[in-house]
Amino acid sequence: MLNPNFVPAITEVSKVLKMNEFVAGVTILALGNGVSDYVISLVGIEGETRQIYTDCITESLFGCVFMSSFVIWVCPFANEPYYFLRDVGFVLFYVQYVDYCMEVNVGNVSILMALSIVCVYLIYIVVVIVDQYLLVRQKNDLRSRMMSRESTDDSNTQVSHFEKRNFSFAHYKSMWDITLNYEYQSPNKKLWKQLFAVLDTLDRDAFSKSSHILKMWALAKVIPLIALRLLIPPVNLKERWSKLLCSLQCVIIPSVITFGFTSWEVRIFGIPVVAVVIILCIPVALWAFHHSRTDAIPSWYKYMIFLNILSSTFVLYVTVREIVATVETLGLALHRSNSFVGSTFFTWGTGIVDLLTNMEMSRKGFPRMAFSACIGATSLSICASIGAPLLYKSIVSKTGSSETTEGSIGKNCTIILIVFLVVFIIYGVTTNFMMRRTAAIMGMTLYGLFVVFAVASEFDLLHAWGTDHSLERNRFQENYFD
């Protein structure tokens, strides 16, 4: 249920903001996909044994190489040359620049150098926003010229073609208007029945099967699905509109998220923060209840899209924490080194939810957005997971610099990522930017070679470039959340 709600919310926000798929992918979707990684990085910002560079680059390898290849495999597509070269080229430059900063300072990154790492990404975001602004202005100018000439059928076809190429989403169609047919009906008709119908999550088709496993599975899903429906406002309502549930979500969602990141002991003027949030949200819930009906969707419900994104991101974060805890335990049980656990189990644990989200986005007909998110998340991850922690540590350090290393396989990961990006650019140029499944096979193969290298390096079958195996015999000493 999570992905089917999160993906439409992203597309709806993109429509409202008039973003094309590429801009939405490298901004909104990239931020949503990577929020768990960034929070984990900020939580462990004080850690001294955390190999932030290796962790970030291996996660970038998984997202930029394997995940983007998987998106292409699910739904091959034709890419726009400008956006492809801009985004992939920037990631290539950004990775090389960060590697240069690490090499030239021999692990001692100054405040100025760390600030430059952050600023490079901010410049990229400014370029993306300016591109979007110029595109919208160009579209509006063309439409104005056509209208002033009393455009013919042929010119209308040209405008439609222009809009179709640059704005992949259909025009936003409002479904929120309340007609006068409901004026004299009770606004709370079947209020509780509607709520119970929405919270009825039993899969009756599976439960009616003769197999006991299917029956148990149908029953096991009931409680988690009820929790998700309480926490995540639906976007595509269809038959799932509930006035009472919508009003309750105005209180439940902010309270649960606040409690998830704080605790009951955290207080403001002696009052728990959670209690303050509940008190502030109750008037909003009462307003929502008063200005809605059970037989029609209110016009303001479209703003619940943003609450959907917030709650979906929170659920993704909680899910990733549990997955990471599981794979961490597996790595510890196998007695593997920090670099190996971080580049394999930890990376797969944090990336599996993003993979499912991008796969769902691709299946919904937005492969360009999913692909752009894989590329954009890499840039954002480098800024948030390397640049921001290094800047913070440099500022609080007495020497004005932060000490860090690329780890035993960090340099190798960087080289593999650079090679893939260069090969990917060559592939796009030589195939007229047609992302076929051959590109997916190429990316998956290259990532498979990296996994083979990581395993061989861990068991001393291969020697990582520029490192000494004896320096990496320490175990996984740091918990990623404490």
Amino acid symbol at 219: L
477 phi/psi in degrees, rounded to 5 = -85, -25
Average pLDDT, the chain: 75
Q: Count CB neighbours of 437 within 10 A.
A: 13
Q: Do 273 and 219 form a contact (C-beta atoms < 8 A)?
A: no
Q: Say which CATH topology domain 5-144+309-475 has.
A: A middle domain of Talin 1 (1.20.1420)
Most confident option among 43-57, 128-142, 218-232, 340-354: 218-232
Question: Tokens 């979500």 belong to which residue?
Answer: 249
Q: How large is the average pLDDT for residues 232-256?
A: 83
Report the pLDDT value the prediction gives residue 365, as an integer from 0 to 100: 79
Question: In this predicted model, which residue has the larger pLDDT, 109 or 28?
Answer: 109
Q: Do 347 and 385 form a contact (C-beta atoms < 8 A)?
A: no
Measured on CA atoms in the order 240, 245, 251, 255, is the torsion positive or negative? negative
User: 334 pLDDT exceeds 70?
Assistant: yes
* Strand pairing report for 271-272 and 77-78: unpaired
Encoded tokens for 446: 């290259």
Alpha helices in 262-400 (DSSP H): 273-290, 304-333, 338-341, 347-363, 367-382, 388-396
Write the pLDDT tens digit of every residue in 317-333.
777 677 767 766 777 78
Residues 27, 33, 38: CA angle, nearest 5 degrees: 90
Write the pLDDT tens digit of every residue in 391-431.
888 888 777 777 777 767 778 888 888 988 999 899 999 99
Boundaries of every domain in the chain: 5-144+309-475, 191-293
Residue 175 confidence class, pLDDT cut points 50, 70, 90: very low
Encoded tokens for 378: 């890499």
Report the pLDDT value the prediction gives residue 93, as an integer from 0 to 100: 93
End-to-end CA distance of the chain: 30
Residue 208 confidence class, pLDDT cut points 50, 70, 90: confident
Q: What are the angstrom distances between the C-alpha of 372 and each of 83, 376, 444?
A: 9, 6, 17
Question: In this predicted model, which residue has the larger pLDDT, 22 or 55?
Answer: 55
